[in-house]
Each structure stands twice: as C-alpha cells, then as structure tokens.
Amino acid sequence: MAWTLPTALFFSAIALVLLVLGVAQRHWPTVARRGFLPLATTRGDRFFISLLTAALIHLGWLAVTDLPVPGASALALFAGAVIMAKG
Amino acid sequence: MRTKPERQAAWLMVLPVVLVVAFSGVVPLMTVVNYSVQDILDVDTRFFVGFDWYRDALRDVRLHEALWRQLVFSFTALAIELPLGILVARCLPRQGRAASLLLVLCAIPLLVPLNVVGTIWQIFARGDIGMLGAAINGLGIDYNYTREPLHAWMTLVAMDVWHWTSLVVLLGFAGLSSIPPAYYQAADLDGAGRWQVFRHVELPHLRAVLLIAVLLRLMDSLMIYTEPFVLTGGGPGNTTTFLSQHLATIAVGQFDLGPAAAFSVIYFLLILLLCWLFHTLVVAGAERDDA
Amino acid sequence: MRSPGLASRLVVAGYSLYLLLPLYWLLAMALKSNRDIVSRLEWIPSSPTLANFAEIFSNPVWLDGFVNSLAYVAINTALSVAVALPAAYAFSRYRFLGDKHLFFWLLTNRMSPPAVFLLPFFQLYSALGLFDTPWAVALAHCLFTVPLAVWILEGFMSGIPRDIDDMARVDGHSLPSFFFRIFLPALRGGIGVTVFFCFMFSWVELLLARTLTGSEAKPIVVVMTRTVSASGLDWGVLAAAGVLTVLPGVVVVWFVRKHLVRGFALGRV
C-alpha cells in the first residue's frame, strides 16, 4: 500500500479519534443539538464536518497561495475546534 | 412508530459488509492517499513530496477545464432529464398490461452495458451509416459529431437523456403510484386544474423521490466515463473530456501514479461533499415526512 | 384516477419512439452484412442475414467473453446479497453504536467514481494474484453493489412489520430459524429487486472490468471495444454483439417487473 510515515500517522490519528468517539458514546452518549450549523448534529456528525472542512481548507490554501501548508493546518484546527464546540 | 431496540450485537451482523467494503473501498482509498504524497518511479523507488501533486493538480488548467465541462454537462443533462422524466411519469397509464409493458421498455436503457450505449449512439448518429445522422443531413444540416464540438455535445446530451431519463420516470411513477386516489377526488371536487393538481397534490408527494433522483443522477453523471469514451473519445480535441476520462488518461494512459492519486483525492472529496449535502437533505426531508 | 388524455398518449408515444429508435437501429444493423451497411443506407434491411450472429457464436473469443462476464456478475451478485442480508436486517431492526454514520459511509462508496479506485485496485489485485480472474472484478464491483444491496434490502425489510419477529420469538423460533423459515420468504420481492440492481450495475460496468482483466478473464464488453480497434470495424458483428449484451438485461427485468415499481417506490437504487 506504499505507506509513508506522515500518512500512517494521519490515518492512525483518525482511527484513534474514531475509537475515542466510540468509547465516549458508550459512556457519555451525545444528543443531537442545534448550534450555528443549520442542522442538528451529534458529536460524530460534527467530527465528520470538521474533517471535511479541514480537507477543503487545505485544498483552497494549496490552490491560491504558496505560503507554507502548516498555516492551513492551523486554520483547519481552529475551524474544527469551533465546529466541535459550537456547531 | 415504535423506536427500535438498542443492541450492540447487531454489529456482528454488519461485520461482513464492513469487511467487504473495507477491502474494496477503504484499503484502495488509503492507498490513493499514500500515492498522492509521493513521487513513485517504481515499487521500491519512492520519494515523499508532500503536497506538491495537490498544488499542481489544483492549478492545472486542463483539470479546471475538465471540471467546468463536467459541471456544464451534468447540469444540462439533469435540467432535461428531471422535467422530462416527471412529465413522462405523469402521462404513463397507471395500471394494466400497457403500463407494465411501458415500464419494462423504460427499464431497458438502464440495463444496456455502458459501452454498448456508446456504440448504439455511435451507429445511430453517424452521418454515413446512422439513422439519426443521415436524417439530419437529409434536412440539409451539415451534422458531424466527430468534427463539430457543438454537435458532439448535443449528441452526448441526447445519449445521456436516452440512457437515464427512464430512471427519473421509474422513480416518479413509483412516487405517483403511492398517492391515494382520494387526493385526486378531493382536488376534483375543489375544481382544481391540471397544473394545480400537479402543484398541490403530486409535487409534495414526489419531493422525496425527486431528491433521490437528483442525488443519483448527479452522482452518476459526475462519474460518467465509458459512454463519451466510446462515442467521442473525449474529442473533437478535448472538448468532451470529463473528469473521469481526464483521470483515466493520467492514471492508466501515462501511469503517473502521484498526480493521478492527488487528483483522485480531490475528485473524491468533491463527491463526498455533494453526497453529504444531499444525504442530509434527504434524511431531513424523510424525518419531516414521518413527523 | 383520470384516464390519460390525448396529450398524455402523445407524450408517451413520443418518448417510447425516442427509446426504441436507437435500439431498432442496433437490431437492423445486426441483421445486415457489413457490405450493405457501408454501401447504402436502408431504413429496413432488404436482405436480412444472421451471419453476424453466426460469426459470434462460432468464435470462441466472443463466447468466452460472455461466460467470463456472467461468471463475475454471478459471483458479485451472490456475494453482495449474502453479506447484505444480515447487515440490512441489523439496520432495519436495531439501533447500535454508529449505525447512522455507518449507513452513510456505505452510501458514499456507492457514489464514488470508479476511476478513483483504478490504480489501487490494479496494484492490490495484482499483489494478491487475483488479477485477470473473475474474482478481481467481482470483488471490485462489490464497492458499489454491496452498499446498494444493503440500502435496497433495508428499505424492503423496514416494510415488514416488526410484530412478525416478536410473534416468531413467542412461537419458539431461534433467530436463524426465524430468518430463513419466515423472514426470507416474506422478503422474496425485495431480494428479486436487489438481484436485479446488483446484476445491472455489475453487468454494465466497463472501466474496472477492463482494467482488472487481461487475456484470460476478458469480459464481453471488453471484447467488443477491442474488436473495434483491432479488425477495422465490422459494424454488423459489433451491432450483433450489442444486441446479445442487451438480452440478459431484458430477461432479468422481465422476471422482476412486478416488484420493480415497489423497489423504485423506496427510492433506493
């Protein structure tokens, strides 16, 4: 599968978060709620939306600027935190 | 409606599906992501290049053109297929032998192998041996879809409409069949005209199936490959090269693993985004119907 | 229920004509010799011949192509329905951790463009030694037929009242016994529709089927495209092969025609 260290870390991180979310769901079940997003979301929904947003932020960054990519990552992390907390 | 009981053991029943789809979906997808960050000369000679391929792909003019063509094509096809499909569905007889014969007829284009769809339209539309091509030329119009981009486009759209409108017809027919006759009688008593019946009785019942029709047609249209490949080969020039064909050219034609993989990931994210938006709409609609 | 008026009849007639004309032309071409096709344009074949079909049935490449295609379609359909049945039951009867997300994830696989998976499939199946066997194509097609099968079956199962499950439990049926003796027979129509759609998607697909096969397991759709490029276009034989690939679909749709509308009513295809 042509693994590299960065992609391996990336997929492990996602797997880990999924595991944590699964365990959390067993012990502290989430209820769908309305935040600033125009639909009711659970914790898992918000995580998915954060991931998708992060991917789009990175693609947009790469498309329009030559600034270093970690800038996009910081922006994505911030957006993800906002969505997880308030979405 | 009773709520379903919670039972974690149900995971065991889902497990086979998860394993099969993980094997045929997740493993390849992770492989694509791995490829997309490397320059791959052969199996053992690989270099990590970070996001370079993504940057190239996102700024590639040919990709922008293919994406633009893809969107124009998909929306044109949808704009014809949806209204036409609903019109035909409304006009079909609801019961009897004629109804089932017509439904089977409608289903036939859906079951023609994709390359045969291309072949059928090729021999139908060619000026020298095709019925359509010869007929149009007979009218004094110089029609040649292998030379004129506009003709190629019109032929492709006609082919897609031929191929897929039936899906909307079948979905629409199924949706209309689910309307209780009492609704029509009530509308008759109120003296509602045809348009009002459609607007206030049929359309609300069709909303759910229509959303599904848009979802399916949009997604399938965005991945169209074989039919234009057979009919026009992406030409004349590149004028009918859509996303999948552009990708297949890089991947299989030139065997550029890294760039093809980066493009694949971008393509996949686009599809995922659209799929999620529509799925959310469909689910929200279904919940409102239940309530 | 109002009876269809003249305008409706005209719309249906016009649409039917639109569907039928290209198909008619395919059939007409299949019944002409290549010389007739190229030399003059006839709306109705004046000297119909079955030579094109004879050519196909006497040539092992074409026949093998048909057998290969049917092999992977059959494997794929059987596998899809077998794994999808318990999963669809779980989705329709229980809530469990992550069920909604799992369902959505399955759906995204149905929507993904096959071109995205082209390269890894090729590498993966080569590495496993499955390249150029019906299994490679069958497993690759599972990517969209399995989610589809789960989706359709779940819809049909949710239409079967849960009281049936409860009554069977009271009668002392175990889950497997209930599933095979009572539930599956009640689900016949749904399984028919599922088979129809698995068949349909696997039968019509070309891109993956072409990439994952070489000379041994070459499917009929690939034989067609390669013949075109190799032998300088024998339109008659090509059209005859086209007619033959349409036939299995017509047969399958005829068998499930009664259940088809219900399948579409669920809006799950």
What are the pLDDT tens digits along chain B (291 aa)? 467 888 888 888 999 999 999 888 898 899 999 989 988 877 677 888 888 899 988 998 888 999 999 999 999 999 999 999 999 998 888 877 888 888 889 888 988 888 889 989 988 988 788 888 888 888 888 888 888 889 999 999 999 999 999 989 988 888 888 788 888 888 888 888 888 888 888 888 787 778 878 888 888 899 898 888 888 887 788 888 898 888 888 887 777 888 889 999 999 999 899 889 888 887 777 666 654
Assess whether B216 and B134 both reside in one domain. yes
* Residues B227, B89 share a domain: yes
The total domain count for chain B is: 2
Asked if B48 and B80 sit in the same domain, the reply is no
Q: Across-strand partners of A41?
A: A33
Q: Tell me the nearest-neighbour CA distance from C75 into chain A, angstroms.
A: 26
Interface size, chain A vs chain C, as Cβ–Cβ contacts under 8 Å? 10
Q: How far is residue B94's CA from residue B161's CA, in Å, rounded to a whole number?
A: 23
CA distance B186 to B194: 13
CA distances from A8 to A14, B48, C48, C134, C158 (A): 10, 13, 63, 32, 40
CA distance to partner chain C, nearest, from residue A45 (Å): 8
Is B266's Cβ below 8 Å from some Cβ in A? yes
For residue A48, the chain C residues in CB contact (below 8 A) are: 101
Residue showing tokens 């791995």: B34
If DSSP codes are grouped into helix, strand and coil, which group holds residue B46? strand
B100 and B214 co-located in one domain = yes
Domain coverage including residue B54: 25-59+256-291
B117 assigned to some structural domain: yes
Could you give the CA distance from residue B122 to residue B230 in angstroms, rounded to a whole number?
8
Question: Do the domain assignments include residue B244?
Answer: no
Which of B169, B285, B278, B283 lies closest to B222, judged by CA?
B278
Residue of B nearest to C26 (CA): B120
Residues B89 and B175 placed together within one structural domain of the fold: yes
Cα–Cα distance, C5 to A36 (Å, whole number):
51
**What residues of A are in contact with residue B37 (Cβ under 8 Å)?**
4, 6-7
Residue B249 located in a structural domain: no
Q: In this structure, are residues C36 and C42 in contact, taking their beta carbons and an 8 Å threshold? A: yes
Measured in residues, chain B has a length of 291
Co-location of B169 and B201 in the same domain: yes
Chain B neighbors of A58, CB-CB under 8 A: 51, 54
Judged by CB atoms closer than 8 Å, whether chains meet at B268 and C20 is answered as no
Q: Is B138 a member of any domain?
A: yes
CB atoms < 10 A from the CB of C76, how many? 27
- Same domain assignment for residues B125 and B73: yes
Same domain membership, residue B157 and residue B178? yes
Supply the pLDDT for residue B1: 47
Residues B105, B50 within the same domain = no
Specify whether B33 is located in the same domain as B152: no
Q: Please give the Cα distance from C62 to C235 (Å, whole number).
A: 15
Taking CB atoms and an 8 Å cutoff, what residues of chain A touch C120?
Answer: 1
How would DSSP label each residue in C208-258?
HHHHT--SSS--HHHHHHHHHHHTT--HHHHHHHHHHHHHHHHHHHHHTHH
Judge whether C4 is closer than 8 Å to chain B, CB to CB: yes
Q: Which CATH superfamily is domain C53-265 in?
A: MetI-like (1.10.3720.10)
Residue B203 lies in a domain: yes
Which residue of C lies nearest to B263 if distances are taken between CA atoms? C116
B53 & B189 share domain: no
Instruction: Show the DSSP H helices in B3-95 as ranges.
Output: 10-21, 27-36, 52-58, 61-91
Residue B162 lies in a domain: yes
A31 CB within 8 Å of a chain B CB: no
Tokens of A4: 């590299």
Q: Does A29 touch chain B (CB under 8 A)?
A: no
- Note whether A23 contacts B: Cβ–Cβ < 8 A: no
pLDDT tens sequence across A13-58: 999 999 999 888 888 888 888 888 888 888 888 999 999 999 999 9
Residue at B251 is within a domain: no
pLDDT tens, residue by residue, C6-23 = 888 899 999 999 999 999
Are B190 and B265 in a shared domain?
A: no
B273 chain-A contacts, CB cut-off 8 A: 52, 56
Range B184-188, long-range pairs (CB < 8 A, 24+ positions): B184/C1, B184/C2
Chain B within 8 Å of A3 (Cβ-Cβ)?
A: yes
**Neighbouring C-beta atoms of residue B108, cutoff 10 Å:** 16
Q: Which two tokens stand for residue C9?
A: 């009849």
**B37 and A7 in contact by Cβ < 8 A?**
yes
| Residue stretches of chain C with pLDDT short of 70 | 1-4, 226-233, 262-263, 265-269
Q: At what angle do helices C99-111 and B10-21 cross, to 10 degrees?
A: 20
Rounded Cα distance between C146 and C198, Å, is 8
Residue given tokens 């270093």 in the structure block: A68
Q: Which of residues 51-80 of A touch C (CB under 8 A)?
A: none
Q: Where are the domains of chain C?
A: 53-265
Distance from CA of B159 to the nearest CA of C (A): 10
Interchain CB distance below 8 Å, B111 and C89: no
